[in-house]
Amino acid sequence: MNSRKESFFDKVYTIVKKIPYGKVTTYGLIARCLGTPKSARMVGYAMNSSHKFPDIPAHRVVNRNGLLTGRHHFFGSSLMQELLENEGIIIIDNKIENFNNVLWNPSIKN
């Protein structure tokens, strides 16, 4: 049967693409949603590889502290912050304010 399991990366992309506008989520939350809470690291690495794919809002994924740890991987180093601010998210000192307010739980999956 077509039980072709998608790679871990693919699963991550599937969730990241579902992050609604103006919301963010965390690496660990995605990993946990996939059933592998210890793979948070891989989620971040998947984002690194996400540049090869379209429609992957990697800027909406931050670490559990609401800190923009991956900003340095974007074009320039402030693009990530500007993208988020463009969506109405306030960022101070590379950290999201009202983090709990903009946090989106992937478990919802809509």
Partner DNA sequence: TTTCTGACAACAA
Partner DNA sequence: ATTGTTGCCAGAA
**Residues in touch with DNA (CB under 7 A):** 7-9, 26-28, 31-32, 36-51, 58, 61, 63-65, 69-74, 80
In the complex, minimum distance from the CB of residue 1 to DNA, in angstroms, rounded to a whole number: 20
In the complex, minimum distance from the CB of residue 109 to DNA, in angstroms, rounded to a whole number: 19
In the complex, minimum distance from the CB of residue 72 to DNA, in angstroms, rounded to a whole number: 7
> Strand pairing of 91-92 and 95-96?
antiparallel
Facing residues of 96 across strands? 91
Distance of CA 41 to the CA centre of its chain: 12
